[in-house]
Chains A and B, each alone.
Chain A
Amino acid sequence: MSYALNRVTVPVTVDAEKCIADKGCTVCVDVCPLDVLAIDLSKGTAYMKYDECWYCMPCEKDCPTGAVNVDIPYLLR
Chain B
Amino acid sequence: MNTIEIEVDVLVIGGGTAGPMAAVKAKEKNPNLRVMVLEKANVKRSGAISMGMDGLNNAVIPGHATPEQYVKEITVANDGIVNQKTVMAYAENSFAMIEELDRWGVKFEKDETGDYAVKKVHHIGTYVLPMPEGHNMKKVLYRQLKKRRVEVTNRLVATRLLLDENGAIAGAMAVDSRTADFYVIRTKTVILATGAAGRLGLPASGYLFGTYENPTNAGDGYSLAYHAGAELSGIECFQINPLIKDYNGPSCAYVTGPFGGYTANAKGDRFIECDYWSGQMMFEFYRELEGGNGPVFLKMDHLADETISQIEEILHSNERPSRGRFHEGRGLNYRDGMVEMHISEIGLCSGHSASGVWVNERAETTVPGLYAAGDLACVPHNYMLGAFVYGKFAGESAAEYCATHSLVPVDEGQIEKERARVWGPLSVKDGLPPAQVEYKLRRMVNDYLQPPKITRKMEIGLQRFGEISEDLSRLSAADPHELMRAMEIHFIRDCAEMAAVASLYRKESRWGLYHYRADYPDRDDKDWFVHVQLKKGEDGNMTCFTRPIAPYIVPLDEQEKTAYEKLRIVKEPATI
Contacts and interface: CB of A to CB of B under 8 A. Distances in A.
Chain A partners chain B: yes
Interface residues of A, number: 26
Q: Which 5 A-B pairs have the closest CB atoms?
A: A1-B430, A58-B45, A31-B45, A33-B41, A75-B207
Interface in A1-60: 1, 3, 30-35, 49-50, 52-58
Given A31-B42, A72-B326, A52 B215 contact: yes
Given A3-B433, A34-B209, A55 B322 contact: yes
Interface of B: 41-42, 44-47, 50-51, 155, 177-178, 205-211, 214-216, 246-248, 320-322, 325-326, 329-330, 430-431, 433, 481, 484-485
Contacts, number: 86
B254 to A, nearest CB: 19
B430 A56 contact: no
Contacts of B214: 33, 54, 56
A55 to B, nearest CB: 5
Contacts of B326: 72, 76-77
A55 B41 CA distance: 15
Contact of A72 (B178, B325, B431): B325
Interface of A: 1, 3, 30-35, 49-50, 52-58, 61-62, 70-73, 75-77
Q: Is the interface of A mostly helix, strand, loop or mixed?
A: loop
Nearest to B480: A35
Contacts of A62: 45
Nearest to A1: B430
Nearest to A77: B329
Given A54-B215, A56-B51, A34 B207 contact: no
Contacts of B485: 52
Given A55-B322, A61-B51, A73-B205, 12 more contacts: A31-B44, A33-B214, A34-B215, A52-B485, A54-B214, A54-B215, A57-B322, A70-B322, A71-B325, A72-B326, A75-B205, A76-B246
A72 B60 CA distance: 36
Contacts of A1: 430-431
20 contacts: A1-B430, A30-B42, A31-B44, A32-B45, A33-B42, A33-B45, A35-B155, A52-B208, A52-B209, A54-B211, A54-B214, A54-B216, A62-B45, A70-B322, A72-B322, A73-B207, A75-B205, A76-B205, A76-B207, A77-B330
